[in-house]
């Protein structure tokens, strides 16, 4: 589905949280699963600053997503990929993959302030040919102040599967009830920054409304 100016948005990610954010902003992106080994990239780059680690992973994702596209397209195209890492006292938390890992993470996060960093790479082609693609890299940061969780809340939250699908904390979903404050860029928690997407579009002379292709932003 193209935007008001024949534009197309592609989300290089299988994240339901990021998809939800884009849809709420009036975008109906095409989904491309990059198939990147994030763990291998993260392991090889672990000694680097967190902002560099998330950017490297986002770079790999957007590159893999672009490789799956078949141009030309009828109008401008924007491809976005991201990665998020949460830290406590400077120590990075691995993404929870199992119920047990989620429970352990939530117990550690209870009553704490976590640092959340999201790296975002947006590839924009004004012509849709991909030959003029410009890559815009940026990071978003925030400190997430969390309330204390009861053991029942921890178990129920982990059973929902939500902590296993997001490196941060979905403040517009179950996790939102446990957030006391967000200090910094709130989009870091969401895992994809709308403000950075808009800047990427305007950087190459495009208009953000050109990419609005959802019938109604009120529709969930």
Catalytic residue among 37, 43, 83, 185: 83
Contact 35, 57 (CB under 8 A): no
SS3 content of the chain, % helix, strand, coil (to 5): 35, 25, 40
Concerning whether 132 is annotated as a catalytic residue, the answer is: no
Give the Cα-Cα-Cα angle 136, 119, 206 (nearest 5 degrees).
30
Q: Which residue has the tokens 């989300």?
A: 11
Q: What SS3 class is residue 100?
A: helix
Q: Which residues contact 40 (CB under 8 A, 6 or more apart)?
A: none
Structural contact between residues 191 and 168, judged by C-beta atoms closer than 8 angstroms: yes
Strands 91-93 and 77-88, bridge-based pairing: antiparallel
Q: Catalytic site residues?
A: 83
């Amino acid at each position: 589905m193209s935007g008001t100016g024949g534009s197309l948005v592609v989300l290089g990610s299988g994240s339901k949280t990021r998809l939800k954010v884009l849809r709420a902003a009036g975008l109906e992106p095409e989904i491309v699963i990059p198939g990147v080994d994030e763990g291998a990239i993260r392991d090889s780059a672990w000694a680097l600053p967190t902002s560099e680690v998330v950017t490297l992973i986002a770079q790999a994702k957007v590159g893999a997503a672009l490789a799956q596209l078949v141009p030309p397209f009828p109008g401008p195209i924007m491809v976005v990929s991201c990665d998020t890492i949460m830290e406590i006292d400077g120590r990075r938390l691995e993404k929870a993959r199992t119920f047990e890992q989620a429970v352990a993470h939530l117990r550690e996060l209870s009553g704490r302030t976590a640092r959340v960093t999201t790296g975002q790479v947006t590839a924009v082609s004004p012509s849709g040919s991909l030959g003029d693609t410009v890559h815009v890299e940026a990071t978003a940061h925030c400190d997430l102040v969390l309330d204390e969780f009861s053991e029942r809340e921890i178990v129920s939250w982990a059973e929902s599967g939500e902590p296993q699908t997001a490196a941060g904390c979905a403040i517009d979903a179950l996790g939102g009830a446990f957030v006391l404050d967000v200090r910094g860029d709130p989009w870091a928690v969401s895992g994809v920054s709308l403000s950075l997407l808009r800047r990427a579009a305007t950087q190459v002379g495009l208009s953000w409304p050109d990419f609005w292709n959802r019938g109604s932003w009120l529709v969930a």
